Amino acid sequence: MLATVDRIAVDGRTVGCLVLYLLATDHPLLILSIGGAYVDCGENLEGRNLEGPMKHGTLLRICGCTLLACCLGCCQANAVLCGEDPSRAGPHATEPEIRPTLLWGAAQLVPSPQWSLLTHDGLRFGLRWQVTPVLYSFGMNRKLSPWRWFVVEPFVRQVGSLELFCSPEYVGMKEVDNARWSFRTGLRGYVPILEHGEYLSASLASSFFVLGGKRGISYEAGVYFFAGIVGVQTTYSPSLSEAPWIFTLRLRYF
């Protein structure tokens, strides 16, 4: 590469054409290599019969083109390493067609099993459903809308998001005003841990619950696997002395 460049008559226009030609290729590392070659060629010019403004002007143009090539090459190489190829990126991204369907409705009816830890009676089995009226994803493609209403793809949620959730629960706690049903609503934030959340992600949440005559604030932490389809959540309600802890095996797709 150095020998090839050295045989070319080096001036600002030639170097500029080389930069543009290389930018049109799909080899960002080649841009970095040719950038280094410019510097070497510039040093070799010291021994040539270039004097005065011509010499310094030529070297200045070469250095400028070298800096431009290296900067653009680094940016493109970084994009390729991150899995994005700007040379293949379209001007616009296509929004997915997200709308409630029969499949979505059926998936919402599938409950997640949970166990409430009663203070004086061990574990009590229950069921939990969850609905997400609105979600904002801060980890997805910036060209797409980050907002989701009711229907949320697993990746959009687990890649990093904040959601408003509503959760009816069957608890069957006769110890608390003979209550069988509970309802809670709150905010939950997701953060990806492995492979953008597809392998592993985590969440923190806070909610307001109603159980019989009891009302209070709950705190929740969770970990999720398989793009968030399967997860484990732990909920703590300090004001609910009869059953402060709830453990949930979260099963959810949309």
The predicted model gives 156-176 an average pLDDT of 90
User: Quick one: pLDDT at residue 66?
Assistant: 44
Residue 149 DSSP code = S
Give the domain range for residue 61. 2-81
Residue 210 in domain: yes
DSSP structure string for 96-137: P-----HHHHHHHT--EEEEEEETTTEEEEEEE--EEEEEEE
Whether residue 46 is found in the same domain as residue 126? no
User: Quick one: pLDDT at residue 97?
Assistant: 76
DSSP-H helix ranges across the chain: 2-6, 12-23, 28-44, 52-81, 102-108, 154-158
**Percent of the chain beyond pLDDT 90?**
41
User: Quick one: pLDDT at residue 129?
Assistant: 95
Phi, psi for 161 (deg, rounded to 5): -160, 170
pLDDT digits (tens, 9 = 90+) for 218-228: 999 999 999 89
Q: How far is CA 70 from the centre of its chain?
A: 28
Last residue of a domain, which of 15, 46, 81? 81
Whether residue 184 is found in the same domain as residue 152? yes
User: Would the pTM of this model clear 0.85, i.e. be above it?
Assistant: no
Mean pLDDT of all residues belonging to the chain? 73
Q: Among 103, 245, 78, 235, which residue's Cα sits nearest to residue 167?
A: 235
Going by pLDDT thresholds of 50, 70 and 90, the confidence category of residue 92 is low
Going by pLDDT thresholds of 50, 70 and 90, the confidence category of residue 39 is very low
The predicted model gives 170-178 an average pLDDT of 81
Residue 90 in domain: no
Whether residue 128 is found in the same domain as residue 239? yes
Residue 16 in domain: yes
pLDDT at 109 over 70: yes
